[in-house]
Amino acid sequence: MVSNYHANTKLAFGLEAFSPSAKRNLAAHALKEGDIANASDYLSQSFNADPTQITAAFVIRDLAAKDRAAADRLIVQYIERLRSFSLSSANQSVGRTFFALDQLVFPRSSVSPPGAEVMKAYVYYVIESFEKLEQSEPGLVPGYRGFMLNAWLPLQEYAPEMMGAFLNLERLSRKAGEEMSLPSASAAQEETIGKRDREISDAAARERDDESDINAAINRGDFSKARKRIDKVTDALQKSRWIELVNMREASYLAAKGETEAAAALARQLKNATSILGVYPAIISRCVEKKDQECAKASINDAVRQLKSADDKVLKANQGLQESLAPTKETFDPVVLSLSRLAEAIVPLDGSLALDVLEEAVRAANVSKLDTTDGRTGFEPTAFRKLAPVDEARVKEEAMMLTKPLEQIVALAGIYQWKSEQLSTQSRSRIQSTNVRVPSNPHVRN
């Protein structure tokens, strides 16, 4: 039986009499007694003053071991409180906050993982906070890239509509010259496969075909089971979105295994530009690795054809989350980004085809509604630098065709960067050749 200690404490003193640390201690005490309601109440009060203090996260994590639903409700409240709190590197609140979230969202013990509502709120908060940090402290994001990348796998499962905003941040988080590198799902699946098996087994027993069940099946890689459950979805629009998601995820999975033919067959069914962006560059990279020109060329042609008629709309944020965070045509253009990455992917195998794709990217950029005011460029900035060695004159001509001044400047800068590197290499070679000592003639006296 739960004691009356906490009820008497509140009656005698009121919660206002206690400091945040005292409230956390009271929460831990209540939790030890099995008093979930008072533990939740204390915790909610404790993080209102300063949610960046990490000790509350440990108590919430302990609560999750006893009552997952109660812990999830608190985590959502905690994230909502964080939204109204400005993070700063000066007081180290950035590191503290994301360390605390890491403890809550990715429990490393026998505690079951949070539900879909928590994971979606987490993804949205990560993107929102890093967008704010980029504005308040420009150049800070690369230092916290690891925390940001933690949201990549949950994003794919719980908030795929945020992919555009995430990819924009991912580009900003790279250090100079660094290539795009995203976490692989395989490691996470290895870690959670037991939990996912139980979730899917329980769902089958309950015969529920809700969002979490389908997501769990997709995340585990059980695409056949996911498709069976999607078949039972009655809402036509929702069903088409699920089909798009499972096709994208399975195609990505097959491409990662090197099964490019099977991956391409699924990729040809994709109708959304963001899905195409997530799949085709990976397929083409695999074709290039195999030096399979026919495979690469066919995939390029399919991708370009599909992009011309693809749906480039980004799904709106779900109810209860900030709709303003969802990317729009003014902040993200998956068609332009896809074409530029396709050009990069094919250049090692077919430079001529890469130039043709770059031309398509420039055309798409010129009709794009992307707003470059805040420094956005629709294409991958490294594309022009990587294609310049193929045909410098043509790549420069394509750069000059860009109608948005910022995009033209970034494209030309990439070409000039390559040119500078080339001239530096040539200069070093000439210096080395002139410093080669000529052997002296042994017959000539000094």
Return the higher-pLDDT residue of 234 and 55: 234
Task: Answer with the residue of higher pLDDT: 302 or 370.
Answer: 302
376 vs 388: which has the higher pLDDT: 388
Interaxial angle between packed helices 236-256 and 260-267, expressed in degrees from 0 to 180 and rounded to the nearest 10: 160
Decide if pLDDT at 179 tops 70: no
The whole-model pTM stands at: 0.56
Dmax (CA) of the chain: 110
Taking the CA atoms of 53, 55, 56 and 61 in sequence, report the sign of the dihedral they define.
positive
How high is the pLDDT of residue 24?
Answer: 52
Beta carbons within 10 angstroms of residue 182's beta carbon: 12
**Quick check: 353 pLDDT over 60?**
yes
| 428: confidence class by pLDDT, cuts 50, 70, 90 | confident
Please report the pLDDT score of residue 181 as a whole number: 66
Q: Cα angle at 140 between 135 and 143, to 5 degrees?
A: 150
pLDDT tens-digit profile of 307-326?
Answer: 988 887 654 333 333 444 45
Buried b (16+ CB within 10 A) or exposed e, 398-419: bbeebebeebbebbbebbebbe
Q: What is the mean pLDDT of residues 169-196?
A: 62
Contact yes or no for 162/123 (Cβ under 8 A)? yes
Residue 35 pLDDT: 64
* Chain position carrying tokens 């498709």: 227
pLDDT at 316: 38
| Residue 199 pLDDT greater than 70, yes or no | no
Mean pLDDT along residues 415-431? 85
Average pLDDT over residues 178-187: 60
- Residue 405 scores a pLDDT above 70: yes
Q: How confident is the model at residue 164, as a pLDDT?
A: 80
Q: Please report the pLDDT score of residue 315 as a whole number.
A: 41
Q: What is the pLDDT of residue 75?
A: 87
pLDDT at 201 over 80: no
Specify the pLDDT at position 176. Answer: 67
Residue 419 structure tokens: 């040119």
Region 150-175 average pLDDT: 84
Contact 245, 160 (CB under 8 A): yes
pLDDT, residue 7, reads 45
Spell out the domains of the chain, with CATH numbers in brackets. Answer: 5-174 (no CATH), 233-430 (1.25.40)
CA distance linking residue 382 with residue 396, whole number of Å: 14
| pLDDT score, position 362 | 95
pLDDT confidence bin for 180, thresholds 50/70/90? low
Q: Is 377 left (phi over 0), alpha (psi -120 to 50) or beta?
A: beta
CB atoms within 10 A of CB 304: 20
Q: Which of 389, 385, 376 is nearest to 336 (CA)?
A: 376
- Out of 188-202, 264-278, 285-299, 313-327, pick the least confident: 313-327
Q: What's the confidence (pLDDT) of residue 29? A: 63
The residue type found at 445 is: R
Q: What SS3 string covers the chain?
A: CCCCHHHHHHHHHCHHHCCHHHHHHHHHHHHHCCCHHHHHHHHHHHHHHCCCCCHHHHHHHHHHHHCHHHHHHHHHHHHHHHHCCCCCCCCCHHHHHHHHHHHHHCCCCCCCCCCHHHHHHHHHHHHHHHHHHHHHCCCCHHHHHHHHHCCHHHHHHHCHHHHHHHHHHHHHHCCCCCCCCCCCHHHHHHHHHHHHHHHHHHHHHHCCCCHHHHHHHHHHCCHHHHHHHHCCCCCHHHHHHHHHHHHHHHHHHHHHCCCHHHHHHHHCCCCEHHHHHHHHHHHHHHHHHCCCHHHHHHHHHHHHHHHHHCECCCCCCCCCCCHHHCCCCCCCCHHHHHHHHHHHHHCCCCHHHHHHHHHHHHHHHHHCCCCCCCCCCCCCCCHHHHHCCCCHHHHHHHHHHCCCHHHHHHHHHHHHHHHHHHHHHHHHHHHHHHCCCCCCCCCCCC
Give the pLDDT confidence of 46-72 residue by residue, as tens digits: 656 666 666 667 777 777 888 888 888
Q: What is the pLDDT of residues 383-397, one digit of tens each?
A: 999 999 999 999 999
Residue 207 pLDDT exceeds 70: no
359: confidence class by pLDDT, cuts 50, 70, 90 = very high
350 vs 54, residue with greater confidence = 350
pLDDT per residue over 1-44, tens digit each? Answer: 344 444 444 433 344 444 455 555 565 666 566 666 666 666 66
pLDDT of res. 10 = 43
